[in-house]
Amino acid sequence: MDTGTKNSSSIKVFSLKGYKDSLCGKMLKLISVTFFLSIATSCNSQTDLESLSFDQDISKVIENHKEFRKNTGGSNGLKAYSSSDLDGFKIGSAQISTYELPKGNASDHSDLWIFIDNYNSKKFLGYSYSSANEDESKKVLNYLKSKYKRFVTNTDKTHGDFYFWDLPELNKWIFVDQANSINHIQTTFTVVKRGLRVENSTNKSVFTIYDVYKMMNPDVLK
């Protein structure tokens, strides 16, 4: 009888141990699956600025990025939402991220402006990404050069490189302006609806964004 009782206890202990091991294994698998799904969801939740269409309502984009603030303080008087918190954005295959130059000046950081027609309808007119991160700037520029083959650039590199793409088939202008600062190169990528005017004016006597860049780069834009 005693032997039978011991064997029975051993079987119960063994069975309980096996059950616990099996349960732990299942929990680890579940945690692993949940972890990878969270990563996939995070990646998929990124906003690709290249995928935004002109005149598209971008209310959801603004809502999904709470760090954006209304801003009309620059960028040719265009109404915009701006932020220096850039995690969650990309330009095509190039990731962009929050960045502040180590030991730099207060202005030595990356920021993003998204231009809209007004704060009610929030129709997309373009964006301006100013990058203090030289590695990310190179990746974005290489992406643009690879995707859009036809562009013009300056020959005088004294103050930095300048690139321009005129894409009538996409109703798009792309301007890339690089400025040589003391301790880094600040690169500004401006992508706007073709024909867009300062302050989004409908008055044909008002300068277009192209006209503004033309005054700054007369050797490239004729």
* 35 plus 54 within the same structural domain: no
The confidence score (pLDDT) of residue 205 equals 96
pLDDT tens, residue by residue, 122-166: 999 999 999 999 999 999 999 999 999 999 999 777 778 999 999
Query: What is the domain extent for residue 66?
Result: 47-216
Q: Which of 110, 50, 113, 51 is nearest to 78 (CA)?
A: 113
**Residue 195 carries which side chain, given as an amino acid letter?**
G
Q: Which residues of 35-65 are buried (b: 16+ CB within 10 A; e: fewer)?
A: eeeeeeeeeeeebebeeeebeeebeebbeeb
Both 133 and 77 in a single domain? Answer: yes
Are 144 and 177 contained in the same domain? yes
**105: in domain:** yes
**Do 98 and 150 have their domain in common?**
yes
| Digit-coded pLDDT (tens) for 195-207 | 999 999 999 999 9
pLDDT-based confidence at residue 186 (cuts at 50, 70, 90): very high
Give pLDDT, residue 25: 53
| Domain match, 119 and 65 both | yes
The pLDDT tens digits for 28-80 are 454 444 444 334 334 446 899 999 999 999 999 999 998 899 998 677 999 99
- What pLDDT shows up at residue 42? 41
157 vs 161: CA distance, rounded Å = 6
Three-state secondary structure call for residue 89: strand
Could you give the CA distance from residue 140 to residue 134 in angstroms, rounded to a whole number?
10
Strands 162-167, 94-96: pairing is unpaired
Instruction: Please indicate, yes or no, if residue 222 is contained in any of the structural domains.
Output: no
Split into its structural domains, the chain has a count of: 2
* 110 contacts 129 by C-beta, under 8 angstroms: yes
Region 181-187: what's the mean pLDDT?
Answer: 88
User: Over the stretch 1-22, which tens digit does the pLDDT of each residue have?
Assistant: 455 554 554 444 445 455 445 5
Judge whether residue 174 has pLDDT over 80: yes
| Whether residue 64 sits in one domain with residue 7 | no
Is 20 exposed, middle or buried, given 0-12, 13-18 or 19+ CB atoms closer than 10 A?
exposed
Is residue 147 assigned to a domain? yes
What pTM was estimated for this model as a whole?
A: 0.79
Based on the fold, state whether residues 25 and 69 are members of the same structural domain: no
